[in-house]
Structure 1
Amino acid sequence: MKQKVADSEKSVDPVFRITSGPTSLEKDESDSSLDAKEECFSLADEDAEETNWRLIYITAVVSFLGAIEGTAVHMSEWPYMREIDPDATVKFFGIASSASKAAHALFVLIFAVWSFKYKTVKWPLIAGRIIAMVACFIYLCIEYLPTGRRYLMMFCYILFDISGSSPSILRAYIAAVSMPKDRSKAFAAMSLSMTLSIICGPLIQMAFTTIPYPGFTIIPHVKFHVYSAPIWIANSTNFISIAIIVFGMKELPRKPKTKKPKKPSIFELEGLKMRIQKIKKANIDWILVFVVWIAKCGKTMTARSIGTLLPILMMVQYGWTGIETVRITSFLMGGSGLLSMFVIGSFMFCKLGTIVQPRFIYLFSISLFTMLYIVTYPYKSIGVEVAMYNATDNTGCDPDKYSWCEGGIAPQPILFLCCMVFVFGMTMPSSAISLDTIYSKILGNIDQSVMQGAAVILDDIMMVITPTYASYIYTLLGLQPLWIMNGCIMSCVVGLWIVMLQKFKDYS
Structure 2
Amino acid sequence: MSPSAVRKPSMSSSSRSCSSSNSVFVLITDWRSVFFIASVVIIDSIKITVVQMNSWPYLKSMDSNVDEEFYGVAKSALTLGTITASLASGYFSNYISHTKPSILAGTLLMLLCCILYANMEMLAEQWRKWAFLTLELLFGWAGGAIVLWRTQLAISSTDRDRQKATALVSIAFNLGFIIGPLIVLSTNYVFPSSLPLPWHAHLNIYTAPLYVQALIGLFSFGLLAVFFDGRMHGAANANARQRHGGKPRADIDGTERAPSNLAVPFREAPKALRPPAKLDPFAIFACFVARINFCAFILYLISLSSPYAMTVFGWSAVTGGMGLLISLGYSMRISSRLKERKCILFSLCLMLTFFVVSFPWPFLGTQMPRPQFRQNLSQVQRQFESFSVNETSTLVLASNGCDRGQYSWCDSTPAINVYVYHVALVLCFGLAMPVGQMNLDTLYSRMLGPIKQGTMQGIFFSVGESLILFGPPLINFAYQTYGPRPIWVMEILLFSFGIFLWLLCYQRLVPASESLKLANIRERTTKCGPLPSGKNDGGLLHVD
Aligned residues: 434
Do the aligned partners of 2:162 and 2:442 also contact (CA within 8 Å) in 1?
no
Report the CA distance between 1:160 and its aligned residue. Answer: 1.9
Do the aligned partners of 2:365 and 2:414 also contact (CA within 8 Å) in 1?
yes
Q: Which residue of 2 aligns with 1:189?
A: 168
Q: Which residue of 2 aligns with 1:68?
A: 46
Cα distance in 2 between the residues matched to 1:58 and 1:501: 33
* C-alpha spacing 1:454/1:221, structure 2 compared with 1 (3 Å): same
Report the CA distance between 1:440 and its aligned residue. Answer: 6.2
Superimposed CA distance per residue, residues 147-197 of structure 1 (whole angstroms, 9 cap, x where no aligned partner): 331121121222222222232233444455556665544443323212211
Matched, 1:124 2:102: yes
Do the aligned partners of 2:358 and 2:420 also contact (CA within 8 Å) in 1?
yes
From 202, 210, 225, the counterpart of 1:246: 225
Cα distance in 1 between the residues matched to 2:50 and 2:232: 36
* C-alpha spacing 1:54/1:502, structure 2 compared with 1 (3 Å): closer
From 112, 118, 126, the counterpart of 1:140: 118
From 282, 288, 297, the counterpart of 1:293: 288
Secondary structure class of the residue paired with 1:203: helix
- The one-letter amino acid of 1:327's match is M
Q: Percent identity?
A: 24
* C-alpha spacing 1:408/1:219, structure 2 compared with 1 (3 Å): farther
1:431-446 correspondence runs (5 A): 431-435=436-440
Cα distance in 2 between the residues matched to 1:492 and 1:48: 41
Bigger Rg, structure 1 or 2: 2
Q: Which residue of 2 aligns with 1:40?
A: none
From 467, 490, 503, the counterpart of 1:462: 467
Alignment TM-score, normalising by the size of structure 2? 0.69
Do the aligned partners of 1:115 and 1:124 also contact (CA within 8 Å) in 2?
yes
Structure with bigger helix share is 1
* C-alpha spacing 1:220/1:429, structure 2 compared with 1 (3 Å): closer
Matched, 1:170 2:170: no
From 54, 68, 86, the counterpart of 1:90: 68
Secondary structure class of the residue paired with 2:108: helix
Superimposed CA distance per residue, residues 411-441 of structure 1 (whole angstroms, 9 cap, x where no aligned partner): 1111101110012222223333554566567
Do the aligned partners of 1:359 and 1:434 also contact (CA within 8 Å) in 2?
yes
Do the aligned partners of 2:292 and 2:464 also contact (CA within 8 Å) in 1?
yes
Superimposed CA distance per residue, residues 370-422 of structure 1 (whole angstroms, 9 cap, x where no aligned partner): 22122111235445322213442373223343222334422111110111001
Report the CA distance between 1:297 and its aligned residue. Answer: 2.4
* C-alpha spacing 1:63/1:297, structure 2 compared with 1 (3 Å): closer
Q: Which residue of 2 aligns with 1:481?
A: 486
Report the CA distance between 1:320 and its aligned residue. Answer: 0.7
**Unaligned regions of 5+ residues in structure 1, if any?**
1-46, 264-277
Q: Which residue of 2 aligns with 1:267?
A: none
Report the CA distance between 1:211 and its aligned residue. Answer: 7.0
Cα distance in 1 between the residues matched to 2:287 and 2:231: 35
Deviates more, 1:71-80 or 1:120-129: 120-129
Deviates more, 1:123-132 or 1:231-240: 123-132
RMSD of equivalent CA atoms: 3.7
Report the CA distance between 1:96 and its aligned residue. Answer: 0.7
Matched, 1:375 2:357: yes
Q: Which residue of 2 aligns with 1:13?
A: none
* C-alpha spacing 1:117/1:419, structure 2 compared with 1 (3 Å): same
Q: Which residue of 2 aligns with 1:387?
A: 369
- The one-letter amino acid of 1:370's match is L
Deviates more, 1:140-149 or 1:97-106: 140-149
Report the CA distance between 1:290 and its aligned residue. Answer: 3.6
* C-alpha spacing 1:199/1:220, structure 2 compared with 1 (3 Å): same
- The one-letter amino acid of 1:318's match is F
Cα distance in 2 between the residues matched to 1:51 and 1:360: 25
- The one-letter amino acid of 2:103's match is L
Cα distance in 2 between the residues matched to 1:150 and 1:97: 12
- The one-letter amino acid of 1:78's match is W
Cα distance in 1 between the residues matched to 2:163 and 2:292: 26
Do the aligned partners of 2:109 and 2:142 also contact (CA within 8 Å) in 1?
yes
* C-alpha spacing 1:314/1:261, structure 2 compared with 1 (3 Å): closer
**Unaligned regions of 5+ residues in structure 2, if any?**
1-24, 239-247, 254-274, 373-388, 390-395, 511-541
- The one-letter amino acid of 2:292's match is C
Report the CA distance between 1:291 and its aligned residue. Answer: 4.1
Superimposed CA distance per residue, residues 39-86 of structure 1 (whole angstroms, 9 cap, x where no aligned partner): xxxxxxxx9976554444344224323432232222210011112212
Do the aligned partners of 1:67 and 1:197 also contact (CA within 8 Å) in 2?
yes
